[in-house]
Amino acid sequence: MTEPALHLSLIGIGSGDPDHVTLQAIKAINRADLVLIPRKGQDKADLADLRRRILDEVLTNPATIIAGFDLPRRNAAHPDYRAGVDDWHDAIAEAWSRALYEHLPGGRGRVALLIWGDPGLYDSSLRIAARLSPAPVIDVIPGITAIQALTAAHRIALNGIAAPFVVTTGRRLRDQGWPPGVDTAIVMLDGECSFRHLDPGGIEIWWGAYVGMAEEMILSGPLATTGPAIVAERAEARRRHGWIMDIYLLRKTRD
């Protein structure tokens, strides 16, 4: 059987702190013939810069090529959310293919993509990689997630004693309310502070933006009083930086 020409490593690099990059990730980076860095527009140029700073610290293989590529934008106005995401993933897979064939003769070799957090948690890289043809061998290197960085920054436990928790999205929190059966919910991918749609009574919030980065911001307290402060701080941070990545944990308090 002929060995696949392409080996693709999806490498979790944590949530912004270069110290979050594991030894396993460093070894995988240094095995790569090519590291692809997505460009997400001028307003998010510092995300590409941070990836390059990480490579400056850990890459010791002089033969490794570092190349940027333009990441397609998702059509947020698409009438069918799932269909719009599928179209977006198709476009990203095409961008990956163009970039790797441009820099690797015949598309042969080892390619690495540096993934924020962990490639298996609210990241679409594995679904996009499955669209590549011919199919590559895929390696996944786990990384520290924004969830771990958030709880570490606030010095709190993720779950109650022997208690379950839910990881969900802002869209679901807004449309479906509090997840049933749990007292703790971690909310990701929330561009509109969807906690505002909840009755804040008896709920605590621990919020963080740019967790793990030099710009890290955290706030915590009762949702009723802390929620409005988060909305204001988030808007100002987005205005100042041009973009924002944030996450929060909600917990129902018991009398």
> Would you state the pLDDT for residue 40?
75
Nearest-angstrom CA–CA distance, 39 and 99: 12
The CATH-assigned architecture of domain 147-252 is: 2-Layer Sandwich (3.30)
Q: Is 122 left (phi over 0), alpha (psi -120 to 50) or beta?
A: left
pLDDT < 70 positions in the chain = 1-4, 41-45, 255
> Would you state the pLDDT for residue 255?
53
Domain ranges of the chain: 6-144, 147-252
Total-model pTM: 0.88
Neighbours of 8 (CB within 10 A): 23
> Would you state the pLDDT for residue 107?
86
Tell me the CATH class for 6-144: alpha beta
> Would you state the pLDDT for residue 75?
84
Nearest-angstrom CA–CA distance, 166 and 145: 15
